[in-house]
Amino acid sequence: MEVYPKLVKRRRIFLLALTLCLIFFLMLSVSTGSSNITFKQVFLAVYRILLGGNLKGDTLTQTVNIVWNIRLPRALMAVAAGVGLALSGVVLQAVLRNPLASPYTLGVASSAAFGAAVAIVCGAGIIHQTYLGGFTITHPYLVVVSAFAFSMLSVAVIVVLARFR
């Protein structure tokens, strides 16, 4: 009976450490760029926008614009993409009831690459030069749609085969 509370405490400490690492690397990502912005300036910019804090002698207007309009959305979307990929991996493993399942071992990534290659060979995504010196791309989304369709076909085959085992 003593083991479970220790396990829960250990997991909470681990999740807290991971959350702190995420916040640290998020701040590092926001402070890194062509314009040198310190952690303190990032914190003050976020504080100013979120809490309406008005700091006396504030010269952070340009920093707030850089942080809030350019760097923070990029960093938050990277976090969202990571969360989405993690959740999709968990769902894939749960549906197939296989903790070792991944898109590469199941062939989903290869079938998506094959779908993209088929679309490219059929003429999608070709870059053409216009008469005025610009460029156009024929059917720019067809490569992505084809890759998605082939990967979903592969997943459907895998799920159907997994039901018969």
- What pTM did the predictor assign? 0.74
Confidence (pLDDT) at 30: 93
Task: Count the Cβ atoms, other than its own, within 10 Å of residue 46.
Answer: 17
Domain boundaries, the chain: 1-96, 102-165
Confidence (pLDDT) at 44: 85
CA distances from residue 16 to 13, 22, 78, 82 in whole angstroms, order as listed: 5, 10, 20, 18
* CA–CA separation, 156 and 165 (whole Å): 15
pLDDT range class, residue 164, cuts 50, 70, 90:
confident
Containing H/E element for 129? strand 127-129
Average pLDDT of the chain to the nearest whole number: 89
Tell me: pLDDT of 59 over 90: no
pLDDT range class, residue 35, cuts 50, 70, 90:
confident
* Higher pLDDT pick, 156 / 57: 156
**Could you read off the pLDDT of 88-147 as tens digits, one per residue?**
999 989 988 889 988 899 999 999 999 999 999 998 888 888 888 788 888 889 999 999
* CA–CA separation, 143 and 117 (whole Å): 8
* CA–CA separation, 145 and 112 (whole Å): 10
